[in-house]
A and B are shown apart, each in its own frame.
Chain A
Amino acid sequence: MGVDIRVENLNAWYGPVHTLHDVSLHIPANHATALIGPSGCGKSTFVRCLNRMHETSPGARADGTVLMGDIDIYKDATPVEIRRRVGMVFQRPNPFPTMSIYDNVASGLKLNGFRKKRVLDEVVERSLKQAALWDEVKDDLKKKSGASISGGQQQRLCIARALAVDPEVLLMDEPASALDPVSTAKIEDLIFKLKSQYTIVIVTHNMQQAARVAENTGFFLMGKLVEFAPTTKIFTNPSDKRTEDYITGRFG
């Protein structure tokens, strides 16, 4: 089961560049939340602040309150502890090329010292089924490397890898932008199925995608959260002129 995320006055910097300005929003548990906006608007930076990945970039820092359930991730926990509870899927599929499909999925558990083989087998199977990849790879789980399958399959493998540690929150940073339409449809199907069990935050360039998968949508512009509302409202009756201009394609 997922937890909700309350963000208050989140600011982020890359060196001297202030990329996020006082972002506050409430992401409800067990729903999908989409973040849209033009390139460089800060939406990726924002999700990377939710599992403290942002601060791993050289010179990057963040400041503010992010309550995940009742934990303030910037005060009450270390980045490692947070990332064990928050799964992340990146823009480019990044399976581990030197590991088999099985080891890719099991990597999060093995990393944290989990060694019970029977449970691992179960987790790998469950995660691959959740990621709708099981039927395609079940015969060569240990024979094929994570890099030998197609791009769309790799991305679903990455989703399975993130799900294997049973996270409370799943962050997806443009998970389908490097994929073809068929693979994209599969990923969207997955998000649809998974969002009842996990809190999903998805960054996307594709407004239709946001409309299809997310209950709530946030619109970012130049490092500021312009509008955050139910998806139908954002796309039919936005309250901010800039949101309207963006979704009608007047810029961006």
Chain B
Amino acid sequence: MNEPKIIPLPPVPEEPPSAPHRITPSPMIKTMLPQTEMGSPVAVAPVTPSAVRMFLQAKSSGRMADGAFASLMVVCALSIFAIVILIVSVLVSHSQLSIKAFGWHFFSTRTWDPVSGDFGALPFIYGTVLSSLLAVLMAVPLALATSIFLLDICPKFLQAPISFLTELLAAIPSVVYGLWGVFVLVPIIRDQAGPVLEKYLGWTGLFVEPNFGVNMFAASVILAIMIFPVISSISRDVMRAVPVHQREAVLALGATRWEMLRIGVLRNARMGIIGSVILGLGRALGETIAVTMVIGNHAAIMKNLFAPGYTLASVIANEFSEATGDLYLSALIEIGLALFLVTIIVNAIARLLVWAVVRDNAGSAH
């Protein structure tokens, strides 16, 4: 029989060990120490072990299960490397024809001429990066304002509906955004917003007629609306996770509500907020169908945001099914490779920026 041993309880010392302290308690204070518990008899362990103790001692150590679980997790984690390597290798191998034909010039050439078989990715890279950055510029202030409002200003009964609607925005399929863009946003940009923007900001060269509504600006606005819920809901969660004692610390110094939010909340949550922006940026870079429906699909590099543009994802979506000829197809796959690289590079730059900002502020802060 595997009789469980009963380990006797150690004897309880008469007096608690006195902590080293500069002030020796005066007799007056000694009498204040709670006395009732001191004299009570020491609890004696029961002779027969309890059911709980028998159960716990009969259980296996779980070492095998832990080991199996750890191996499973390692395999799952490593599979991420495998997936990335597979994607890159397929993209590279299928675009060999185009890589051999154009070399590095592929990324710096403005022509996209399927008829004469001359391909360059620059207008698409420009369109992808510009539309995404503009979208982030538009979405971030709006999203942060929404999160702060929900967190601190919004009356309780409105909090749940607004959070729910924000998260619902994230769940709408992008083709629906595209349709909405075509039927609502494009006419507004063409007929209402366009003339106003041209009148006041035309001098910048960014808003020059003609403006048909389907253009770079429309794509940026659609993207901004699409990434807004991502940035807003993540940054709100991060801000909510800032401990109350941080807010109280700022308030106790005589801060106004805005100062409390700035120092006690935004400052503490900034890494998470930046993370949410990077996530939003990632989504904007890869967004395909909604952009394709409103950007105008014209491969050119224009400063004018009212001119149509094209993105890497859009050109693949538009032309993949009708790509005749091996070189054409290969060039489109290399566009996919370019999109992959642009996403990685933009993310890397964003992270480097974060790292630089954090390093400047208080050395070991994180």
**Chain A 160-177 interface 0/1 with B at a Cβ cutoff of 8 Å (1 = within):** 011001000000000000
Q: Please tell me if A230 contacts chain B, counting CB pairs below 8 Å.
A: no
* Cβ–Cβ contact A83 & B362, under 8 A: no
* Cβ–Cβ contact A56 & B267, under 8 A: no
Q: Please tell me if B363 contacts chain A, counting CB pairs below 8 Å.
A: yes
Report the separation of the CA atoms of residues A95 and B253 in the bound assembly, to the nearest whole angstrom.
12
Q: A97-B365, A211-B32, A250-B36 are in contact. Are A111 and B23 (CB under 8 A)?
A: no
* Cβ–Cβ contact A99 & B365, under 8 A: yes
Q: Which residue of B lies closest to A91 (CB)?
A: B245
* Cβ–Cβ contact B31 & A53, under 8 A: no
A-B contact count, CB below 8 Å? 128
Report the separation of the CA atoms of residues A140 and B365 in the bound assembly, to the nearest whole angstrom.
13
Contact of B365 among A51, A90, A145, A165 (CB under 8 A): A145
* Cβ–Cβ contact A207 & B255, under 8 A: no
Q: A99-B365, A211-B29 are in contact. Are A111 and B253 (CB under 8 A)?
A: yes
Report the separation of the CA atoms of residues A247 and B363 in the bound assembly, to the nearest whole angstrom.
47
Q: Please tell me if A1 contacts chain B, counting CB pairs below 8 Å.
A: no
Contacts of A86 in B (CB 8 A): 252
Q: Please tell me if B20 contacts chain A, counting CB pairs below 8 Å.
A: yes
Q: Please tell me if A100 contacts chain B, counting CB pairs below 8 Å.
A: yes
Q: Please tell me if B254 contacts chain A, counting CB pairs below 8 Å.
A: yes
* Cβ–Cβ contact B252 & A97, under 8 A: no
Q: Which residue of A lies closest to B247 (CB)?
A: A56
**Chain B 33-58 interface 0/1 with A at a Cβ cutoff of 8 Å (1 = within):** 11110000000000000000000000
Report the separation of the CA atoms of residues A185 and B20 in the bound assembly, to the nearest whole angstrom.
10
* Cβ–Cβ contact A111 & B259, under 8 A: yes
Contacts of B366 in A (CB 8 A): 97, 145
Q: A96-B246, A96-B263, A249-B33 are in contact. Are A162 and B362 (CB under 8 A)?
A: no
* Cβ–Cβ contact B28 & A236, under 8 A: yes
**Chain A 78-116 interface 0/1 with B at a Cβ cutoff of 8 Å (1 = within):** 011111111110101011111110010001100110000
Q: A181-B19, A185-B23 are in contact. Are A249 and B36 (CB under 8 A)?
A: yes
**Chain B 245-270 interface 0/1 with A at a Cβ cutoff of 8 Å (1 = within):** 11111111111100100010001101
- List chain B positions with a Cβ less than 8 A from chain A: 19-23, 25, 28-29, 31-36, 243, 245-256, 259, 263, 267-268, 270, 361-366
- List chain A positions with a Cβ less than 8 A from chain B: 51, 53, 56, 79-88, 90, 92, 94-100, 103, 107-108, 111-112, 140, 142-148, 158, 161-162, 165, 181-182, 185, 189, 207-208, 211-212, 235-236, 247-250
- 24 chain-A/chain-B pairs, Cβ below 8 angstroms: A51-B252, A56-B251, A80-B255, A81-B254, A82-B254, A88-B248, A88-B252, A90-B252, A94-B245, A94-B249, A96-B268, A107-B263, A111-B259, A111-B263, A147-B365, A162-B252, A162-B253, A181-B20, A181-B21, A189-B22, A207-B29, A208-B25, A235-B32, A248-B35
